[in-house]
Amino acid sequence: MDYRERYRNGEHRQVTAELTRLDPRKGDARMQMRAVAELAMARVAHNCRLLVQRLTAHGYAYSVYCDPDDGGGVSAPLLDADTVAPAMLKTRVGALPVTLECFWQAMGGVALTGTHPDFPDMLDPLVVYPAEALLEESEQAEREDDGLFHLALSPDDYHKDNVSGGAPYSVALPQDGFDFVLLYESREAYFLDYLRDVILHRGGFGALDAQAAGGVPLNALTEGLLPF
Protein backbone atom coordinates (compact mmCIF):
# COMPACT_ATOMS: atom_id res chain seq x y z
CA MET A 1 0.00 0.00 0.00
CA ASP A 2 1.44 3.39 -0.97
CA TYR A 3 1.56 6.48 1.24
CA ARG A 4 -1.53 8.03 -0.31
CA GLU A 5 -3.68 4.98 0.39
CA ARG A 6 -2.33 4.65 3.91
CA TYR A 7 -3.14 8.31 4.50
CA ARG A 8 -6.65 7.88 3.12
CA ASN A 9 -7.08 4.92 5.47
CA GLY A 10 -6.41 7.09 8.51
CA GLU A 11 -2.65 6.83 9.12
CA HIS A 12 -2.33 10.61 9.01
CA ARG A 13 0.40 11.28 11.56
CA GLN A 14 2.43 8.17 10.80
CA VAL A 15 2.44 8.76 7.05
CA THR A 16 3.34 12.44 7.26
CA ALA A 17 6.09 11.70 9.79
CA GLU A 18 7.57 9.09 7.44
CA LEU A 19 7.36 11.42 4.45
CA THR A 20 9.10 14.18 6.41
CA ARG A 21 12.10 11.85 6.85
CA LEU A 22 12.08 10.74 3.21
CA ASP A 23 14.66 11.95 0.69
CA PRO A 24 12.62 13.66 -2.08
CA ARG A 25 15.28 12.76 -4.65
CA LYS A 26 14.80 9.02 -4.32
CA GLY A 27 12.49 7.09 -6.62
CA ASP A 28 8.91 8.33 -6.67
CA ALA A 29 9.24 10.05 -3.27
CA ARG A 30 8.31 13.49 -4.55
CA MET A 31 5.21 12.17 -6.30
CA GLN A 32 4.15 10.37 -3.10
CA MET A 33 4.79 13.52 -1.05
CA ARG A 34 2.67 15.64 -3.33
CA ALA A 35 -0.18 13.14 -3.43
CA VAL A 36 -0.42 13.11 0.37
CA ALA A 37 0.09 16.87 0.78
CA GLU A 38 -2.71 17.60 -1.69
CA LEU A 39 -5.09 15.39 0.30
CA ALA A 40 -4.02 16.95 3.59
CA MET A 41 -4.33 20.54 2.43
CA ALA A 42 -7.71 19.92 0.83
CA ARG A 43 -8.86 18.89 4.30
CA VAL A 44 -7.17 21.89 5.90
CA ALA A 45 -8.98 24.19 3.45
CA HIS A 46 -12.31 22.49 4.17
CA ASN A 47 -11.77 22.84 7.91
CA CYS A 48 -10.80 26.49 7.64
CA ARG A 49 -13.93 27.26 5.64
CA LEU A 50 -16.01 25.59 8.37
CA LEU A 51 -14.23 27.55 11.10
CA VAL A 52 -14.87 30.83 9.28
CA GLN A 53 -18.55 30.00 8.83
CA ARG A 54 -18.96 28.98 12.47
CA LEU A 55 -17.08 31.96 13.86
CA THR A 56 -19.12 34.31 11.67
CA ALA A 57 -22.36 32.72 12.87
CA HIS A 58 -21.18 33.24 16.45
CA GLY A 59 -20.70 36.98 15.86
CA TYR A 60 -16.93 37.05 15.37
CA ALA A 61 -15.77 40.16 13.47
CA TYR A 62 -12.72 39.70 11.22
CA SER A 63 -10.15 42.48 11.30
CA VAL A 64 -6.43 43.04 10.78
CA TYR A 65 -5.78 42.95 14.54
CA CYS A 66 -7.49 41.31 17.51
CA ASP A 67 -7.84 44.72 19.11
CA PRO A 68 -11.40 45.90 19.87
CA ASP A 69 -10.19 49.52 20.11
CA ASP A 70 -8.24 49.54 16.83
CA GLY A 71 -8.76 46.48 14.67
CA GLY A 72 -6.97 48.06 11.72
CA GLY A 73 -9.93 47.61 9.40
CA VAL A 74 -11.95 44.67 8.15
CA SER A 75 -9.97 41.75 6.71
CA ALA A 76 -10.87 38.75 4.57
CA PRO A 77 -10.38 35.51 6.52
CA LEU A 78 -9.81 33.32 3.45
CA LEU A 79 -8.02 33.92 0.16
CA ASP A 80 -8.40 32.17 -3.17
CA ALA A 81 -6.17 29.27 -4.14
CA ASP A 82 -3.00 30.39 -5.91
CA THR A 83 -0.64 28.56 -8.25
CA VAL A 84 1.08 31.54 -9.85
CA ALA A 85 2.77 33.25 -6.87
CA PRO A 86 4.19 29.99 -5.43
CA ALA A 87 5.78 29.21 -8.79
CA MET A 88 7.28 32.71 -8.95
CA LEU A 89 8.58 32.36 -5.38
CA LYS A 90 10.29 29.08 -6.32
CA THR A 91 11.96 30.81 -9.24
CA ARG A 92 13.23 33.58 -6.97
CA VAL A 93 14.40 31.73 -3.82
CA GLY A 94 14.49 28.04 -4.78
CA ALA A 95 12.67 24.95 -3.55
CA LEU A 96 9.53 25.12 -1.40
CA PRO A 97 8.45 22.45 1.08
CA VAL A 98 5.71 20.36 -0.52
CA THR A 99 3.22 21.05 2.28
CA LEU A 100 3.56 24.80 1.94
CA GLU A 101 3.19 24.83 -1.83
CA CYS A 102 0.13 22.59 -1.61
CA PHE A 103 -1.36 24.78 1.12
CA TRP A 104 -1.25 27.81 -1.15
CA GLN A 105 -2.61 25.82 -4.06
CA ALA A 106 -5.52 24.67 -1.89
CA MET A 107 -6.51 27.91 -0.17
CA GLY A 108 -4.16 30.81 -0.86
CA GLY A 109 -4.02 32.10 2.70
CA VAL A 110 -5.95 32.37 5.96
CA ALA A 111 -6.31 35.05 8.64
CA LEU A 112 -8.59 34.37 11.61
CA THR A 113 -7.65 37.61 13.36
CA GLY A 114 -10.65 39.47 14.70
CA THR A 115 -12.69 40.30 17.78
CA HIS A 116 -15.58 39.00 19.83
CA PRO A 117 -16.76 40.56 23.11
CA ASP A 118 -16.67 37.21 24.93
CA PHE A 119 -13.25 36.07 23.69
CA PRO A 120 -10.11 36.60 25.80
CA ASP A 121 -7.05 38.48 24.55
CA MET A 122 -3.91 36.90 23.09
CA LEU A 123 -5.56 33.89 21.45
CA ASP A 124 -2.99 33.78 18.63
CA PRO A 125 -5.50 33.09 15.82
CA LEU A 126 -4.35 31.17 12.78
CA VAL A 127 -2.72 33.27 10.06
CA VAL A 128 -0.82 32.02 7.02
CA TYR A 129 0.21 34.72 4.57
CA PRO A 130 -0.35 34.23 0.84
CA ALA A 131 2.63 33.35 -1.34
CA GLU A 132 2.45 36.82 -2.87
CA ALA A 133 3.42 38.34 0.50
CA LEU A 134 6.55 36.18 0.70
CA LEU A 135 7.35 36.96 -2.91
CA GLU A 136 7.27 40.67 -2.10
CA GLU A 137 9.37 40.21 1.05
CA SER A 138 11.94 38.17 -0.86
CA GLU A 139 12.79 41.18 -3.04
CA GLN A 140 14.62 42.79 -0.09
CA ALA A 141 15.42 39.72 2.02
CA GLU A 142 18.97 38.71 2.90
CA ARG A 143 20.18 35.27 3.86
CA GLU A 144 20.43 34.46 7.57
CA ASP A 145 23.37 32.76 9.31
CA ASP A 146 22.10 29.37 8.14
CA GLY A 147 22.39 30.52 4.52
CA LEU A 148 18.62 30.57 4.04
CA PHE A 149 15.97 33.26 3.67
CA HIS A 150 13.65 33.45 6.68
CA LEU A 151 10.39 34.71 5.20
CA ALA A 152 7.38 35.61 7.34
CA LEU A 153 4.33 33.36 7.21
CA SER A 154 2.41 34.94 10.09
CA PRO A 155 2.66 37.71 12.68
CA ASP A 156 3.61 36.49 16.13
CA ASP A 157 0.97 36.28 18.86
CA TYR A 158 1.64 39.81 20.15
CA HIS A 159 1.48 41.54 16.77
CA LYS A 160 -1.85 39.85 16.07
CA ASP A 161 -3.19 41.75 19.08
CA ASN A 162 -1.65 45.03 17.82
CA VAL A 163 1.11 44.89 20.45
CA SER A 164 4.84 45.08 19.75
CA GLY A 165 6.27 41.58 19.96
CA GLY A 166 8.86 39.26 18.53
CA ALA A 167 9.83 37.78 15.19
CA PRO A 168 7.10 36.62 12.83
CA TYR A 169 6.48 32.91 12.43
CA SER A 170 8.60 32.08 9.41
CA VAL A 171 9.77 29.51 6.89
CA ALA A 172 13.42 29.03 5.92
CA LEU A 173 13.89 28.90 2.13
CA PRO A 174 14.98 27.31 -0.09
CA GLN A 175 13.96 24.06 1.52
CA ASP A 176 13.29 20.78 -0.21
CA GLY A 177 11.35 17.89 1.25
CA PHE A 178 7.87 17.20 2.49
CA ASP A 179 7.41 19.49 5.50
CA PHE A 180 9.22 22.22 7.46
CA VAL A 181 9.55 23.51 11.00
CA LEU A 182 7.65 26.75 11.58
CA LEU A 183 10.33 29.10 12.89
CA TYR A 184 9.90 31.36 15.94
CA GLU A 185 6.61 29.70 16.99
CA SER A 186 6.66 28.25 20.50
CA ARG A 187 5.74 24.70 19.52
CA GLU A 188 8.80 24.39 17.27
CA ALA A 189 6.62 22.00 15.27
CA TYR A 190 6.39 20.94 11.68
CA PHE A 191 3.83 22.93 9.70
CA LEU A 192 1.30 20.11 9.44
CA ASP A 193 1.54 19.30 13.14
CA TYR A 194 1.09 22.99 13.94
CA LEU A 195 -2.03 23.15 11.76
CA ARG A 196 -3.39 19.98 13.35
CA ASP A 197 -3.06 21.35 16.86
CA VAL A 198 -4.39 24.83 16.11
CA ILE A 199 -7.30 23.78 13.88
CA LEU A 200 -8.45 20.43 15.25
CA HIS A 201 -7.82 20.97 18.97
CA ARG A 202 -8.07 24.75 19.45
CA GLY A 203 -10.66 25.87 16.91
CA GLY A 204 -8.21 28.05 14.99
CA PHE A 205 -6.72 29.81 18.04
CA GLY A 206 -3.18 28.70 18.77
CA ALA A 207 -3.00 29.97 22.36
CA LEU A 208 -6.47 28.82 23.43
CA ASP A 209 -6.43 26.54 26.47
CA ALA A 210 -8.57 23.63 25.32
CA GLN A 211 -9.36 22.78 28.95
CA ALA A 212 -10.47 26.33 29.79
CA ALA A 213 -11.88 27.85 26.60
CA GLY A 214 -13.87 30.53 28.39
CA GLY A 215 -16.23 32.31 26.01
CA VAL A 216 -14.86 30.52 22.94
CA PRO A 217 -17.34 27.80 21.80
CA LEU A 218 -14.58 25.27 21.21
CA ASN A 219 -16.74 22.16 20.85
CA ALA A 220 -19.03 23.88 18.35
CA LEU A 221 -16.05 25.11 16.35
CA THR A 222 -14.25 21.77 16.12
CA GLU A 223 -17.19 19.38 15.81
CA GLY A 224 -16.94 17.29 12.65
CA LEU A 225 -13.69 18.76 11.37
CA LEU A 226 -11.81 16.39 9.08
CA PRO A 227 -8.68 14.81 10.57
CA PHE A 228 -5.56 15.33 8.52
Q: In this structure, is residue 69 part of a structural domain? A: yes
Looking at residue 191, its pLDDT comes to 99
Q: In this structure, is residue 228 part of a structural domain? A: no
Q: Count the neighbouring beta carbons within 10 Å of the beta carbon of residue 176.
A: 14
Q: In this structure, is residue 11 part of a structural domain? A: yes
For 194-224, what is each residue's pLDDT tens digit? 999 999 999 999 999 999 898 999 999 999 9
Number of structural domains found in the chain? 1
Q: In this structure, is residue 103 part of a structural domain? A: yes
Range of the domain at 178: 3-222
Integer Cα distance of 113 and 205 in angstroms:
9
Q: In this structure, is residue 59 part of a structural domain? A: yes
Q: In this structure, is residue 41 part of a structural domain? A: yes
Looking at residue 71, its pLDDT comes to 76
Q: In this structure, is residue 18 part of a structural domain? A: yes
For 12-64, what is each residue's pLDDT tens digit? 999 999 999 999 999 999 999 999 999 999 999 999 999 999 999 999 999 99
Q: In this structure, is residue 173 part of a structural domain? A: yes
Q: Per-residue pLDDT for 136 more than 90?
A: yes
